[in-house]
Structure 1
Amino acid sequence: MPSTLDPALSALNGAPSADERSAIGVLGGLGPYAGLDLVRAIFDETEAHADQEHLPVALISYSNRIPDRAAWLADETAPSPIPAMMEVLRRLDDAGCAVAGIPCNTAHAPAIYDRLHEGLLADGREIRLLHIVDAIVQNVSEVAPGASHIGVLATSSSVSNRLHQIGLEAAGLQAVVPDTAHQTAVQETIYGPWGLKAQSAPPDPRSREALLAATEHLAARGADAVILGCTELPLAIPERRHEGTPFVNSTRALARALIRATHPEKLRFARTVAA
Structure 2
Amino acid sequence: MKHVGILAHSVPGAAMCFRHYCETAMAELGDHNHPDVTMDCVAMGQSMPAWETGDYDTVRDILARSVDRLAAAGADFFLCPDNTAHLALERPGVDLALPGLHIAEVVARTAKAAGYNRVGVLGTRWTMEAGLYPRVLTEHGISAGIPDAESRALIQERTFGELTHGVFTEETRAEFVTVIRRLAAEGCDAVALVCTEFPLLVPPAESPIPTLESTTLVAEAAADVALDREPLPTWRGGPPDR
Identify the TM-score tier after normalising by the shorter chain: 0.7 to 0.9
Match of 2:65 among 87, 110, 130: 87
Unaligned runs of 5+ in 2: 231-242
1:40-51 superposed matches below 5 A? 40-46=19-25, 47-51=28-32
Describe the SS at the equivalent of 1:38: helix
The TM-score with structure 1 as length reference comes to 0.75
Describe the SS at the equivalent of 2:177: helix
Q: What is the one-letter code of the residue matched to 2:95?
A: G
Q: Distance in 2 between matches of 1:90 and 1:81?
A: 14
Q: Distance in 1 between matches of 2:44 and 2:191?
A: 31
Flag the structure with more relative contact order, 1 or 2, with Cα contacts below 8 A and sequence separation at least 6: 2
Equivalent residues of 1:156, 1:187 under 8 A apart: yes
Q: Distance in 2 between matches of 1:256 and 1:48?
A: 14
1:168-187 superposed matches below 5 A? 168-187=137-156
Q: Distance in 1 between matches of 2:176 and 2:169?
A: 12
Q: Radius of gyration: which is bigger? A: 1
Tell me how far 1:86 sits from its aligned partner.
1.5
1:133 is the counterpart of 2:104: yes
> What stretches of structure 1 move > 6 A for 4+ residues in a row?
none
1:91-106 superposed matches below 5 A? 91-106=69-84
More helix by share: 2
C-alpha distance after superposition, 1:202-239 (max 9, x if no partner): 51333312211111111111110000011121121233
Unaligned runs of 5+ in 1: 1-18, 267-275
Match of 1:153 among 122, 136, 144: 122
Q: What is the one-letter code of the residue matched to 1:41?
A: H
1:42-121 superposed matches below 5 A? 42-46=21-25, 47-52=28-33, 54-63=34-43, 66-68=46-48, 71=51, 74-76=53-55, 80-109=58-87, 111-115=88-92, 118-120=94-96
Q: Which residue of 2 aligns with 1:252?
A: 216
1:12-27 superposed matches below 5 A? 22-27=2-7
Tell me how far 1:75 sits from its aligned partner.
3.1
Q: Distance in 1 between matches of 2:89 and 2:188?
A: 29
Structure 2 CA distance for partners of 1:191 and 1:203, relative to 1, 3 Å:
same
Identity of aligned residues (%): 25
Equivalent residues of 1:137, 1:168 under 8 A apart: yes
Equivalent residues of 1:66, 1:85 under 8 A apart: no
Tell me how far 1:61 sits from its aligned partner.
2.2
Equivalent residues of 2:112, 2:142 under 8 A apart: no
Q: Which residue of 1 aligns with 2:191?
A: 226
Q: Distance in 1 between matches of 2:182 and 2:112?
A: 22
Alpha-carbon RMSD across the aligned residues, in angstroms, is: 2.4
Q: Distance in 1 between matches of 2:17 and 2:91?
A: 22
The TM-score with structure 2 as length reference comes to 0.84
